[in-house]
């Protein structure tokens, strides 16, 4: 590992060491504190002797994401002992419960709109984002996204973003203002390694829709059997505080619908060949007479058939929004 990467870790560890020493003065002879101190000293020593980030057991590299979350880890995932393995599983279980509690009501009929989704993590937790919120002005906000990274870190980043957006809603912002603010706050509150591609949509009772696409796969509009992608209007959330977001406005008439999805759909594969956007578009043209719920079911069924029911390699989220 190079020094540019290691020096912030070393600074951080030294600072934490000071805090430990300070706490130790107040709680003298705490064996737990002394043990932590030993671990911090050992990590600092590993940085100095060049063995930091190398697994004690297999001598392979320790996963960078785990080191970022806990600079004291000394073994790679595969070499965790039974106790450590169990602790990690429990963390995942909690993160998974937190995440499931954040999901919106499914198959929602609200003010002339029908919204349905399928949310499926590839592992115990997902980095995908899915929310449907009924607004005070009778419009409905639907949000779908994909947070970079994997595991507990990505899932909690997703929860963080979820809370951020929920809190911003009370300010009565327009869609692009909401995305602007969410981006700035997300940028300022996370490490620069985290970002999220997201689609924000707002549909009102007149059938008017505003879409702000922050670097995500284009949502697809289905109208009179013709599929039109709504292209990205901004960069992913969390990359640059100064990013500017605009919205695309259009109207949906009775029977029109929108399909949103994460790349767990298009980048799923069979025999090395991707499911792909072309297949999504072509399948969507046949969905004209179906409810949002049926559309989601059709895509899920087609995708499972395509991949031969293989276990997911990426988190999968599909959402359909239909004007009734």
The single residue among 13, 76, 108, 239 that binds Zn ion, judged by CB under 5 A, is 76
**Class of residue 321 by CB neighbours under 10 A (exposed 0-12, middle 13-18, buried 19+):** buried
Question: With binding defined as CB under 5 A, does residue 79 bind Zn ion?
Answer: yes
> In this structure, are residues 233 and 179 in contact, taking their beta carbons and an 8 Å threshold?
no
Give the nearer residue to Zn ion in terms of CB position, either 46 or 118: 46
Candidate ranges 75-83, 88-96, 147-155, 181-189; the one touching Zn ion (CB under 5 A): 75-83
CA angle 67, 68, 74 (to 5 degrees): 15
Question: With binding defined as CB under 5 A, does residue 73 bind Zn ion?
Answer: no
Encoding tokens for residue 118? Answer: 């399928």
What is each CA distance from 173 to 56, 160, 184, in whole angstroms?
51, 19, 14
Question: CA-to-CA distance for 115 and 144, rounded, in angstroms?
Answer: 12
Query: Tokens 């995942």 correspond to what residue?
Result: 92
Task: Annotate each residue in 148-167 with x if it binds Zn ion (CB under 5 A) or - if it does not, as one string.
Answer: --------------------
What is each CA distance from 50 to 2, 28, 69, 80, in whole angstroms?
9, 32, 20, 22
Candidate ranges 49-57, 89-97, 259-267, 306-314; the one touching Zn ion (CB under 5 A): 49-57
Give the nearer residue to Zn ion in terms of CB position, either 43 or 247: 43
Question: With binding defined as CB under 5 A, does residue 55 bind Zn ion?
Answer: yes
Give the nearer residue to Zn ion in terms of CB position, either 76 or 292: 76
CA-nearest of 4, 12, 8, 10 to 49 is: 10
Q: What's the min distance (Å) between Cβ of 59 and Zn ion?
A: 7
Give the nearer residue to Zn ion in terms of CB position, either 20 or 80: 80
Q: How many residues at the interface with Zn ion, by CB under 5 A?
A: 6
Question: With binding defined as CB under 5 A, does residue 58 bind Zn ion?
Answer: yes
Q: What's the min distance (Å) between Cβ of 79 and Zn ion?
A: 4
Q: What's the min distance (Å) between Cβ of 144 and Zn ion?
A: 36
Give the nearer residue to Zn ion in terms of CB position, either 60 or 255: 60
CA atoms within 13 A on the CB side of 244: 1
Question: CA-to-CA distance for 19 and 166, rounded, in angstroms?
Answer: 34
Candidate ranges 50-58, 99-107, 117-125, 189-197; the one touching Zn ion (CB under 5 A): 50-58
The residues binding Zn ion (CB under 5 A) are: 55, 57-58, 60, 76, 79
């Amino acid at each position: 590992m190079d020094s540019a990467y290691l020096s912030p870790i070393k600074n951080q560890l030294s600072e934490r060491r000071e805090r430990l020493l300070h706490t130790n003065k107040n709680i003298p002879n705490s064996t737990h504190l002394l043990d932590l101190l030993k671990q911090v000293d050992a990590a600092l020593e590993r940085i100095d002797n060049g063995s930091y980030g190398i697994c004690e057991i297999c001598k392979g590299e320790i996963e960078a994401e785990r080191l970022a979350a806990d600079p004291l880890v000394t073994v790679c995932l595969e070499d965790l002992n039974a106790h450590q393995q169990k602790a990690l599983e429990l963390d995942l279980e909690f993160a998974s419960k937190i995440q499931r509690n954040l999901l919106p009501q499914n198959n929602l009929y609200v003010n002339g709109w029908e919204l349905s989704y399928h949310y499926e993590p590839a592992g115990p937790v997902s980095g995908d984002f899915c929310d449907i919120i009924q607004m005070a002005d009778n419009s409905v906000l639907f949000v779908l996204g994909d947070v970079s990274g994997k595991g507990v870190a990505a899932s909690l980043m997703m929860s963080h973003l979820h809370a951020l957006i929920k809190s911003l809603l009370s300010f009565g912002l327009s869609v692009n203002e909401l995305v602007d603010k969410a981006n700035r706050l997300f940028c300022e509150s996370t490490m620069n390694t985290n970002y999220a591609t997201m689609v924000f949509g707002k549909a009102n009772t007149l059938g008017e829709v505003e879409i702000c696409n922050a670097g995500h796969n284009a949502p697809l509009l289905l109208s009179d059997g013709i599929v039109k992608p709504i292209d990205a209007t901004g960069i992913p959330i969390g990359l640059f505080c100064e990013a500017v977001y605009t919205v695309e406005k259009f109207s949906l008439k009775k029977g029109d619908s929108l399909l949103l999805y994460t790349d767990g759909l298009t980048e799923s594969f069979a025999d090395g060949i991707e499911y792909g956007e072309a297949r999504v578009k072509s399948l969507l043209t046949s969905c004209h007479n179906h409810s949002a719920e049926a559309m989601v079911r059709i895509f899920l069924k087609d995708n499972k058939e395509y991949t031969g029911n293989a276990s997911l390699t990426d988190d999968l989220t599909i959402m359909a929004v239909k004007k009734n």
